Amino acid sequence: MLSTLKQSNKLLLNVLDPRFCSKTCVSRGSALTTTYLSQRDDRGKVHITLSRGMAGRSYNVPPSDEFVSTVTGIATMCKLPYRETAEGLDAAFVGVPIDTGTSNRPGTRFGPRQIRAESAHLLPYNGGTRAAPYESLVVADIGDVNVNVYDLKDTCKRIREAFHKILATGCIPLTMGGDHTIAYPIIQAVAAKHGPVGLIHVDAHADTSDVDLGEKIGHGTPFRRCVEEGLLDCKRVIQIGLRGTGYSPDDYEWGRAQGFRVVQAEECWHKSLVPLMAEVRAQVGSGPVYLSFDIDALDPAYAPGTGTPEIAGLTPIQALEIIRGCRGLNLVGCDLVEVSPPYDTTGNTALTAANLLFEMLCVLPKIKYY
């Protein structure tokens, strides 16, 4: 039974199994050490104290399910510590639980909560890339922006102000949506710090409409607003996975006219996207870039829990190729949006989203690889 879990990553377990008596073990190698010391008390219970340490710097390391059951504890992203602010963090997971900007199926306000729940079994290392994010950056979950579910414009103001504070600390935000409206106020805050940024936008939809039902702000308009305000370096904007029916024969003409590179889903069918991402890295260069990933970029066979699904989309493998292809870029922020749990009957959409957010963490600057 778990007795104590402290923010210092030291925990106390009561175990009756005699295998754990009088034993000290060290694992994980020299950079990250996991040490547990067991002692039996006068009532016959064995107390195991687990501690982790890395390279002389204090990091936040999620408790391992070698010692702590996956299904226990309060749901934070990847079971990381919760912090009230981004102060002292290199990167932070933050939720923006809104669906006020959706045009079709709602429910994305519950996205951050479900993504956190599905992230509980994610382990500290990336087995595919050998990335070790928790040996590289101080990371925590800083909770949710306090949105106004009755007023979308006020919500955008609250998001912008919250991200100004996050970015002012030097922390890189990894955001869980929420509908795609949130990209607009987040990029407002990002551009206020870094100037016009490049954008890698993975989505079934361009989200460059001017007006939806008379409204300028919604999940179909964020990147139009960003261009109008000079927040994007349009020659360094790439949109990947666009598809579906449209309002005109070429719904992507406006973006191309601004200088965007548009890669429609048909160009991605039946192929690896590793060569594409080499071209993307060359186009984006060394300047600051923001990654915005709408889960509906994936085919609804893989991610049905979203508000505006479109058939014939990307695969999870291609999603990994895109995100892993961002390694080496100057990423200054990332988001994963449009997860709608009411339509996610198996939990696979939120599970996929949690994994993709972890992959984003693994490609941030200064990440260590084994």
Max Cα separation, the chain? 78
Residue 46: band (very low, low, confident or very high) from pLDDT cuts 50, 70, 90: low
**If pLDDT is split at 50, 70 and 90, which confidence band does 40 have?**
low
On the 0-12 / 13-18 / 19+ scale of CB atoms within 10 A, 254 is middle
Domains of the chain: which residue ranges? 2-54, 77-369
What are the DSSP calls for 314-360, one per residue? B-HHHHHHHHHTTTTSEEEEEEEE---GGG-TTSHHHHHHHHHHHHH
Q: Per-residue pLDDT tens for 296-350?
A: 999 999 999 999 999 999 999 999 999 999 999 999 999 999 999 999 999 999 9
**What is the residue whose two structure tokens read 């000290």?**
24
Instruction: Return the beta strands (E) in 178-231 as ranges.
Output: 197-202
Distance set, CA 267 to CA 61, 246, 251, 270, 295 (Å): 40, 17, 16, 9, 18
Q: Is domain 77-369 given the CATH code 3.40.800.10 in the classification?
A: yes
pTM of the model: 0.87
Q: Which two tokens stand for residue 322?
A: 């895109």
Rounded to 5°, the CA angle 369-236-221 comes to 110
pLDDT score of 56 more than 50: yes
DSSP 102: -
